[in-house]
Amino acid sequence: MLAGGLLLLQPAAVRAQHVHINAGASNAAQDAPLFFSNGANYSTAAGYDVYLTFTNAGSFSNLYQGAGATFTALASTLDNGGPAFGHAADGSFLQLQFVSMSGPAKGEFALWTQDPADPATSYPSFKMPVGTVNGTNLLALSESDGSPGADPYGHIHGRTFTATRPGLYKLGCRLLDTSSNGAGGGPIHTPSDTYYFYFQAGLTISSCVMNSNSFEVTFATAAGRSYYVESTSNLQTGKWTTFAGPFTGNNHLQSAVTNAAVPLFFRLREN
């Protein structure tokens, strides 16, 4: 009997945590690579997750949605609050390319944009089915007109991420300079490495690994919530025992470890 994660009742609301993931370059020289100056804080390597909550009303009806992360481009001029350390070269135009998506089977990830004429309404800019490995969709980060010498700065809100099924999604993306202000009429900067970010849709167990004498249960959390991991050896009895928790949600993956390797089923409870 293999341990399994069960989806439980979602709370009415989850406190949102909003972060800015800042795009720039290693330096402003021709062919210097782009990078996220604080990407290491929010990447999958750091275990950070952007939490998406289920809604049944409005533009995002029957979807898991959230705007807990804004991808920005660092400013080079005082007018936009710069010069920021690690900004890209003047004249560059930064965009985020959505390359890959993994997650729950048959799930679909999407980016929605706020309608300028009606801020209460949003529409999907593009969708990414789970299993995508060579995506080409772009999201503009810079707000300039792309002219030579223009500040590459951008800080655009009104963008929402959605998912169709509960579970942990893993986005692979990279930064591109799509300007024509570099050498030979090409871009100034070379593309960044591929970065990976987690998006958690709803309340689920991400993984359960059996070790020699224990189980390790991993799950994503939302800031402001408490989590309990419960287990049972028999689904028919309905008797669940809390063996770990409370865990304080912090928008990071967290883990609980049992002290035995007996066959168990697991579920996650959120307050």
Q: Is the pLDDT of residue 9 over 70?
A: no
Task: Extract the runs of DSSP E, i.e. beta strands, from the chain.
Answer: 19-25, 34-36, 49-55, 63-66, 69-73, 94-102, 108-115, 118-129, 137-140, 159-163, 167-177, 195-201, 205-210, 215-220, 226-232, 241-248, 253-257, 265-270
Q: Is the pLDDT of residue 64 over 60?
A: yes
pLDDT (mean) for 183-191: 98
Q: Is the pLDDT of residue 14 over 80?
A: no
Q: Please report which confidence band the pLDDT of residue 261 belongs to, taking 50, 70 and 90 as the band edges.
A: low
Higher-confidence residue: 13 or 81? 81
Ordered strands of the 215-220 beta sheet:
205-210, 215-220, 253-257
Q: Is the pLDDT of residue 108 over 90?
A: yes
Enumerate the β-bridge partners of residue 55: 63
Tell me if the pTM is above 0.75: yes
pLDDT (mean) for 211-237: 90
Distances (CA, A) of 157 to 14, 79, 140, 154, 228: 20, 19, 12, 10, 34
Q: Please report which confidence band the pLDDT of residue 174 belongs to, taking 50, 70 and 90 as the band edges.
A: very high
- What's the whole-number average pLDDT of the chain? 91
pLDDT at 5: 43
